[in-house]
């Protein structure tokens, strides 16, 4: 596993609220858990992009972090100062029969979108997934054109659709588009 310092890189960007800031992308550390949870919760409460309606309790997030660190899961955060403003990971499912695939998740707080951070987070997760997974896969809601564009740009291919997959979104129900990418060592 790369240490935070070895795997970190930063970008300077102009956030929508007019501030100039430097966001660093680096692997998670245990003390990110609470801030990561707040970020996840904020995106969940938008009810537009991810299936969860709120983040799980902090104790669960901490347990997930410990497992992630133990298993050297590719899991990056984007941090503005001390605050986690986005994350991307390729999670390994529990079953040995599924262990060759990484399930990708990514999200950024609204003010940090569309300034290139998502592309950098995904590039980082792809890099850390080499030698760890044979393929990566994900689901994206049909109306999430921005995420779909990003995934296609970095080489994910559409491989199916689950009709009427999710209900209760801010805009109603939606399909899930399934995408996957083979990993070359
Ligand atoms: C999806 C997400 C991670 C992308 O990260 P990001 O930092 O906003 O994306 P980037 O700035 O790196 O790139 C966005 C790309 O989408 C394009 N884009 C933006 N809106 C678009 C739209 N409506 N249709 C198509 N493309 C769009 C941009 O032009 C840019 O393309 P380019 O790199 O070819 O110029 C981020 O927007 C986010 O967190 N969204 C909410 C949560 C979410 O959707 N998570 C994914 C769930 S599957």
Q: How many angstroms separate the CA atoms of 32 and 37, rounded?
A: 8
> What is the 120 CA–ligand 1 centroid distance (Å)?
11
Does the C-beta of 153 come closer than 6 Å to ligand 1?
yes
- Ligand 1 centroid vs 140 CA: distance in angstroms? 12
Q: What's the DSSP call for residue 113? A: S
Q: What is the pLDDT of residue 6?
A: 40
Q: What is the chain's pLDDT, residue by residue, as a tens digit (185 residues)?
A: 333 344 455 555 555 556 667 899 999 999 999 999 999 999 999 999 999 999 999 999 999 999 999 989 999 999 998 999 999 999 988 899 999 999 999 999 999 999 999 999 999 999 999 999 999 999 999 999 999 999 999 999 999 999 999 999 999 999 999 999 999 87
In this structure, which topology does domain 4-134 adopt according to CATH? Aminopeptidase (3.40.630)
Give the alpha-carbon dihedral of 28, 29, 32, 34, to 10 degrees: 110
Q: What is the pLDDT of residue 170?
A: 98
- Assess contact for 153 and 118: CB atoms under 8 A: no
User: Can you give the residue ranges of every domain in the chain?
Assistant: 4-134
Cα 120 from Cα 29, distance rounded (Å): 19
> Which of 13, 121, 149, when mutated, tests ligand 1's pocket best, judged by the most ligand atoms within 8 Å of its CB?
149
> What confidence score (pLDDT) does residue 7 get?
44
3-state secondary structure of 141: strand
Which of helix, strand or coil describes residue 48? Answer: coil
Q: Are 176 and 159 in contact (CB under 8 A)?
A: no
DSSP class of residue 129 equals: H
pLDDT score, position 9 = 54
Instruction: Identify which of 48, 115, 140, 150 to mutate to test ligand 1's pocket (most ligand atoms within 8 A of the CB).
Output: 150
């Amino acid at each position: 596993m790369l240490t935070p310092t070895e795997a970190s890189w930063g970008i300077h960007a102009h956030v929508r609220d007019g501030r100039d800031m430097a966001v660093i992308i680096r692997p998670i550390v245990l003390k990110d858990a609470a801030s990561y949870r707040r970020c996840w919760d904020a995106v969940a409460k938008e009810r537009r992009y991810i299936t969860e309606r709120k983040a799980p309790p902090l104790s669960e997030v901490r347990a997930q972090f410990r497992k992630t660190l133990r298993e050297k899961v590719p899991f990056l955060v984007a941090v503005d100062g001390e605050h986690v403003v986005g994350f991307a990971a390729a999670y390994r499912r529990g079953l040995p029969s599924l262990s060759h695939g990484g399930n990708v998740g990514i999200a950024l707080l609204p003010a940090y979108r569309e300034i290139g951070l998502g592309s950098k987070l995904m590039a980082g997760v792809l890099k850390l997934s080499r030698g760890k997974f044979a393929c990566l896969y994900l689901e994206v809601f049909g109306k999430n054109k921005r995420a779909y564009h990003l995934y296609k740009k970095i080489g994910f291919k559409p491989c199916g659709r689950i009709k009427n997959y999710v209900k209760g979104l801010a805009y109603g129900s939606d399909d899930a588009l399934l995408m996957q990418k083979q990993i070359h060592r």
